[in-house]
Amino acid sequence: MEVSKLCKSTNIVTINGIYPGPVLYAQEDDRVIVKVTNETPYNASIHWHGVRQRLSCWSDGPAYITQCPIQPGQTFTYEFTLYQQKGTLFYHAHISWLRATLHGAIVIYPKTGVPYPFPNPYDEHIIILGEWWSMNPIQLEQSTLASGGAAPPAEAYVINGHPGPLYNCSENDVYSIDAVPGKTYLLRLLNTALNTDHFFSIAGHNLTVVEADGEYTKPFVVDHLMLGPGQTANVLVTADQSMDRYQIAMGPYVTAKNLTFQNITSIAHFRYTGAGLTSVARPATLPFYNNSLVVNANMDALRSLEVTNLPLQIDENLFFTIGLNVEQCNRQNPNLTCQGPNGGIFAASMNNISFTRPNVSLLQAYYNSLNGIYTADFPGLPMKMYDFVNGAPNNSPNDTNAIFGTRVKVLEYGAKVQLILQDTGTVTTESHPMHLHGYSFYVVGYGSGNYDPTTAKFNLVDPPLMNTINVPVGGWAVIRFVADNPGVWFMHCHIEVHLSWGLSMVFIVKNGDGPLESLPHPPSDLPSC
Ligand code: C2O
């Protein structure tokens, strides 16, 4: 589809001719069937982010993990049940960087007759925080990888696809919500940006958080919220201020040092019905771009409304470091321009293993017992602790030692897993929104510095249940889940450039013995590579 933004016209990939993509409305426990026909010249696949895919791993969607890409002209039908799930999630392309424009909201209502655990809103709106690029996202990924350096900043940050009035040629490209004075609205927020965490606020109005990552939370009130790519939240906002027009603002939260980014705020409007159109909207404020205090305060306040199935005993205690590496540049490769730190190239790793994407899907390799595609030796502990010096991450850019490979960690069916995620890095530490497929997990602990089991405080009473945890800059998070969904499940940083650099790993969860504890057979239209 041809679109014109920021005085430039460009062709983007869309779903059914709509950008952002059409909303998938459903109810808890619905069976969802989506037939995807690829009419683009590129390989494609769609992931249902946050959908737990109970016994439906074949429909999860990450290319080369659970399926081969849907090739140009091909059709694949995704089929899954929204088993015990409600709230706001989203879908997106899970191949190359196509998700820049290929994404849309999933709204799952409670079952008929089941109310929300908060007062019924008067109305609701979806607010997608995104990034705009006029460059083809496939070329964008390729040129970034060829440079060896950091990804370029987005040309604009967008709210539901609109850059807002602070960008060139965008005075009228502004998203606006009309609010009836006195009424309460449910805003379904999602961050689909490729590479940027984002703050969000509305001038003069508090936000009451009632849901995060598709799970109800104990309500809490904030004036700013931060969402990492892959995170969603539902907030209530009441039009209880004086009759006027108010800015809705999004802007970057940046934790890496020396990173170039677009420091422009994207603005939408929250306009009281009857307020004059000519008045200047009341300005919203956002925290300073590297303010982690706001982020930590949000995280502290985040509590599950109800907790079920939180493992108190642990069968598998895992410790993964996550971070960026710098590798020596291969001067023999004429395609590489080696613009990373010290003339090297960026890589990224978990436990010092930088994930290499296979050429066939891991799920097919596992299901058909193909040899030579992956090895089951992903380390459960860091390969080496070289990047910790006196309890602090060592920032000298001299590591050329990440190990490249397709390694998986195998889990027994039903294993109670605790996973400690430690943020580190040889270049700089920064926060990483870590996303797990096939499960939601309880975030039982969260802190700065290096994880220390003797001082770490855990919440085993009402921890939040999430699918994406923004592991804090230079800090750690501890998550727990029960491995009761058989299949091949990707875990990765949801910052697209970090994923491209190898910041991912794969869990294989074995079948159990019971009738509803096995991976089903593959669908007949599953693409081949
Ligand atoms: Cu939303 Cu593997 O991604």
| DSSP labels, 373-436 | S-BS---SS-S--TTEETTEE---S----PEEE-BEEEE-TTEEEEEEEEE--SS----EEEEE
Taking the alpha carbons at both ends of the chain, their separation in whole angstroms is 27
Dihedrals φ, ψ of 384, to 5°? -160, 155
Atom of ligand 1 nearest to the CA of 62: 2
User: 280 CA distance to ligand 1 centroid (A)?
Assistant: 39
pLDDT tens, 22-32? 999 999 999 99
pLDDT-based confidence at 429, cuts 50/70/90? confident
Q: What is the mean pLDDT of the segment spanning 473-489?
A: 96
- Residue nearest (by alpha carbon) to ligand 1 atom 1: 49
Is residue 90 within 6 Å of ligand 1 at its C-beta? no
Distance in angstroms (rounded) separating the CA atoms of residues 415 and 214: 24
pLDDT band at 390 (very low <50, low <70, confident <90, very high): very low
Report which of residues 124 and 423 the model is more confident about. Answer: 124
Q: Which ligand 1 atom is nearest residue 99's CA?
A: 1
Q: Percent of the chain, pLDDT > 90?
A: 84
Q: How confident is the model at residue 384 (pLDDT cuts 50, 70, 90)?
A: low
Q: What is the pLDDT of residue 399?
A: 47
Residue 413's Cβ-side half-sphere holds a number of Cα atoms within 13 Å equal to 14
Q: Is the pLDDT of residue 413 over 50?
A: yes
Residues 50, 55, 444: CA angle, nearest 5 degrees: 45
Given this model, what pLDDT does residue 383 score? 63
Whether 230 lines ligand 1, by a CB cut-off of 6 Å, is yes
Taking residue 118's Cβ as centre, other Cβ atoms within 10 Å add up to 16
> Measuring CA to CA, how many Å separate 471 from each of 15, 164, 186, 313, 478?
32, 30, 27, 23, 9
The CB of 125 under 6 Å from ligand 1? The reply is no
Report CA(230)–ligand 1 centroid distance (Å). Answer: 7
The predicted structure's pLDDT at residue 480: 98
To the nearest whole number, what is the mean pLDDT of the chain?
93
pLDDT at 208: 98
Q: How far apart are CA 24 and CA 36, in angstroms?
A: 13
CA 120 to chain CA centroid, Å, is 28
Give backbone dihedrals phi and psi of 108, rounded to 5 degrees, phi first.
-115, 110
Q: Whose CA is nearest to atom 3 of ligand 1?
A: 49
- For the chain, domains (ranges, CATH) are 316-509 (2.60.40.420)
Query: 278: which DSSP letter?
Result: S
- Per the model's pLDDT, the better-predicted residue between 323 and 441 turns out to be 441
User: Residue 505's pLDDT is what?
Assistant: 98
Please work out whether the CB of residue 205 comes within 6 Å of at least one atom of ligand 1: no
Q: What is the pLDDT of residues 160-199, one digit of tens each?
A: 999 999 999 999 999 999 999 999 999 999 999 999 999 9
Is residue 490 within 6 Å of ligand 1 at its C-beta? yes
Atom number of ligand 1 nearest to Cα 49: 1
Tens digit of pLDDT for each residue in 492-526? 999 999 999 999 999 999 999 998 999 999 999 99
Atom of ligand 1 nearest to the CA of 50: 1
Please count the other Cβ atoms lying within 10 Å of the Cβ belonging to residue 516: 9
- CA 497 to centroid of ligand 1, rounded, Å: 13
103 lines ligand 1 (CB under 6 A): no
49 lines ligand 1 (CB under 6 A): yes
Mean pLDDT confidence for 471-482 = 95
3-class SS at 323?
strand
Q: Is 99 in the pocket of ligand 1 (CB under 6 A)?
A: no
CB atoms within 10 A of CB 162: 22
ipTM score:
0.99
Instruction: Check residues 397 and 521 and name the one with the higher pLDDT.
Output: 521
Averaged pLDDT for residues 339-343: 88
pLDDT of 460 reads: 98
Asked if residue 35 lies in contact with residue 87, where contact means CB atoms within 8 angstroms, the answer is no
What is the whole-number distance in angstroms between the Cα of residue 192 and the centre of ligand 1?
10
| pLDDT for position 329 | 87
In this structure, how many other beta carbons lie within 10 angstroms of the beta carbon of residue 291?
16
- CB of 409 within 6 A of ligand 1: the answer is no
- CA 348 to centroid of ligand 1, rounded, Å: 17
φ, ψ dihedrals at 140, nearest 5°: -60, -45
Q: What does the pLDDT average to over 136-146?
A: 96
From the CA of 491, how far away is ligand 1's center (Å)?
Answer: 8
Per the CB < 8 A criterion, the answer to whether 76 and 527 are in contact is yes
User: Above 50 in pLDDT, residue 385?
Assistant: no
Distance 202 CA to ligand 1 centre (A): 28
**How would you class 438 by CB atoms within 10 Å of its CB: exposed for 0-12, middle for 13-18, buried for 19 or more?**
buried
Tell me the CA–centroid distance for residue 113 and ligand 1, in Å. Answer: 32
| Ligand 1 lined by 198 (C-beta under 6 Å) | no
Write down the pTM of the prediction: 0.96
Residue 324, pLDDT above cutoff 50: yes
CA pair distance 260, 146, nearest whole angstrom: 18
Identify which of 434, 436, 498, 480 has the alpha carbon closest to the alpha carbon of residue 50.
436
Give the tokens for residue 509. 């969860």
pLDDT tens profile 71-107 = 999 999 999 999 999 999 999 999 999 999 999 999 9
> 53 φ, ψ to 5°?
50, 50
Residues 254-311: pLDDT tens digits? 998 877 788 889 999 999 998 877 778 999 999 999 999 999 999 999 999 999 999 9
Q: Which atom of ligand 1 is nearest to the CA of 468?
A: 1
Q: Report the distance separating Cα 375 and Cα 206, nearest Å.
A: 50
For 26, residues 6+ apart whose C-beta sits below 8 A from its C-beta are 32, 82, 106, 107, 108, 109
